[in-house]
């Protein structure tokens, strides 16, 4: 029997580095807190809970959603946001300042005025090199959020993804998933299966060309947890059997050249054919950005597609909830 008491604090608290930090018990508590935050926010009860707190964004890779939605979430709670974009060219890094020293300096600035060590601010980092957010924790005196590290992980995206599934189906255990596209280089498809694997009776299909298959270490972790998964190159063969299709784009910035229109590689585009094969209540997710060839316009406008609706709503409210848990954790 698991006698562990549920608390707001995840493994590695207060940093948010990857899926490994979150247990099933913690995730279930998180889902409850997300709904509670939604209610309180709608009643105008959250506007100032992060007053005088600060978020620094350090993004050395492009971002539309994560940077903007972290900003909206923090501002919804009354925090201030400082945006350091392209630090290699637009901060003193161009004068030779090491990244780690920048973290040391900025975190000290955020920590100023802290009473009894309570966090006054948090730093969210997006970087092309895997492990950069983890490295930053060694130099920071405030919490670090991994907002995407190379081909590594994207935990805030993973949290919004599992929350979207929980909200739509009312459960995660017992569901089946197809993760499609460039599974080697996409970080969202590294975090998501690890989070899903915490739940019971999950089945996963990984749909990609063999050379862009899910990395071995993730498959090994799934095997170690007795999670059922299979690999395929044809979305048509998988679509009838899953509750969720999670599409991803080709990561050209990481050297991937997958052309989803090249039928000699397999079938990876979500189109009318795939839509017609899906279960009636199945959904289509995408972390975005979406590029031509991921889905057709008809699919974007279908009932099944939730990437322009539910996933975006979940993105804001999960980030708000996470911020509150970082700054004011309950035991």
* Site for ligand CP, rule CB under 6 A: 63-66, 148, 154, 157, 287-289
CB 147 within 8 A of CB 156: yes
CB of 296 to ligand CP, least distance (A): 20
* Enclosing H/E stretch for 148: strand 144-149
CB of 159 to ligand CP, least distance (A): 12
The three-class DSSP label of residue 30 is: helix
Pairwise CA distance, residues 331 & 189, whole Å: 31
The three-class DSSP label of residue 277 is: helix
Q: For residue 190, what are its two tokens?
A: 């590294």
Closest CA to 107 of 92, 125, 122, 127: 122
- Which CB sits closer to ligand CP, 46 or 147? 147
CB of 64 to ligand CP, least distance (A): 4
- Which CB sits closer to ligand CP, 148 or 293? 148
Pairwise CA distance, residues 279 & 20, whole Å: 31
Pairwise CA distance, residues 193 & 157, whole Å: 12
CB 275 within 8 A of CB 300: no
Catalytic residues: 65-66, 95, 126, 154
- Which CB sits closer to ligand CP, 137 or 156? 156
- Which CB sits closer to ligand CP, 253 or 330? 253
- Which CB sits closer to ligand CP, 64 or 116? 64
CB of 72 to ligand CP, least distance (A): 13
Taken in order 314, 49, 58, 33, the sign of the CA dihedral is negative
CB 53 within 8 A of CB 110: no
CB of 293 to ligand CP, least distance (A): 18
């Amino acid at each position: 029997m698991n006698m562990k008491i549920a608390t707001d604090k995840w493994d590695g608290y207060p940093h948010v580095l990857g899926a490994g930090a979150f247990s099933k018990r913690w995730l279930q508590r998180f889902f409850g807190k997300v709904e509670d935050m939604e209610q309180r926010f709608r009643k105008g009860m959250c506007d100032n809970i992060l007053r005088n707190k600060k978020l620094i964004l350090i993004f050395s890779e492009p971002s539309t959603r994560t940077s903007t939605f972290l900003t909206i979430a923090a501002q919804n709670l009354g925090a201030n946001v400082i945006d350091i974009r392209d630090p290699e060219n637009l901060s003193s890094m161009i004068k030779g300042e090491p990244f780690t020293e920048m973290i040391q300096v900025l975190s000290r600035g955020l920590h100023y005025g802290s009473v009894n060590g309570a966090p006054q601010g948090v730093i969210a980092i997006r970087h092309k090199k895997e492990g950069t957010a983890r490295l930053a924790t060694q130099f920071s005196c405030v919490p670090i959020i991994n907002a995407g590290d190379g081909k590594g992980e994207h935990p805030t995206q993973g949290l919004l993804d599992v929350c979207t599934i929980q909200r739509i189906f009312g459960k995660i255990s017992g569901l089946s998933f197809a993760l499609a596209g460039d599974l080697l280089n996409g970080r969202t498809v590294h975090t998501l299966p690890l989070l899903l694997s915490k739940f019971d009776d999950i089945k996963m299909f990984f749909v990609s060309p063999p050379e862009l298959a899910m990395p071995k270490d993730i498959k090994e972790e799934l095997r170690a947890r007795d999670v059922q998964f299979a690999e395929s190159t044809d979305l048509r063969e998988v679509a009838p059997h899953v509750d969720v299709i999670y599409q991803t784009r080709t990561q050209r910035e990481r050297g991937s050249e997958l052309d989803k229109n090249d039928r000699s590689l397999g079938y990876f585009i979500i189109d009318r054919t795939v839509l017609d094969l899906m279960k009636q209540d199945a959904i289509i997710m995408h972390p975005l950005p979406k590029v031509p060839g991921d889905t057709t316009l008809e699919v974007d406008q279908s009932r099944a597609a939730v990437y322009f609706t539910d996933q975006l709503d979940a993105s804001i409210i999960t980030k708000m909830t996470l911020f509150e848990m970082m700054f004011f954790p309950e035991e």
